[in-house]
Amino acid sequence: MNAIARNIEERTLSYSEAIREAMSLAMDADPTVILMGEDIGVYGGAFQVTLDLVDKYGTDRVMDTPISELGGAGVAVGAALTGLKPIFEFQFSDFAALAMEQIVNQAAKLRYMLGGEASVPVVFRMPAGSGTGAAAQHSQSLEAWFGHVPGLKVVQPSTPEDAKGLLLAALADPDPVLIFEHKLLYKMKGHVPEGHYTVPIGKAAVRRQGKDLTIVASSIMVHRALEAAERLAADGKDVEVIDLRSVRPIDRDTILASVRKTGKLMVVYEGVKSYGVGAEISAMVAESDAFDFLDAPILRLGGAEAPVPYNPDLERASVPQVDTIEAAARRLLGGEV
Residues designated catalytic? 69, 138
Give phi and psi for 241, each to the nearest 5: -120, 120
Could you give the CA distance from residue 67 to residue 130 in angstroms, rounded to a whole number?
Answer: 23
HSE value, Cβ hemisphere, 13 Å, CA-based, for 110: 20
Q: Pick from 170, 168, 269, 259: which is nearest to 206 by CA?
A: 259
157-176 in b/e form (b: 16+ CB < 10 A) is bbbbbbbbbbbbbbbebebb
Q: CB of 40 within 8 A of CB of 52?
A: no
DSSP string, 308-333: PPSSHHHHHHTS--HHHHHHHHHHHH
Give phi and psi for 182, each to the nearest 5: -70, 130
Could you give the CA distance from residue 244 to residue 230 in angstroms, rounded to a whole number?
Answer: 19
Strand 177-182 versus strand 153-155 pairing type: parallel
**Residue 107 burial by CB count (10 A; 0-12/13-18/19+): exposed, middle or buried?**
buried
Give phi and psi for 70, each to the nearest 5: -65, -45
Q: Pick from 161, 201, 167: which is nearest to 50 by CA?
A: 167
The kind and range of the H/E element at 164 are helix 160-171
Q: Which of helix, strand or coil describes residue 191?
A: strand
Residue 99 DSSP symbol:
G
Around Cβ 331, how many Cβ atoms within 10 Å?
14
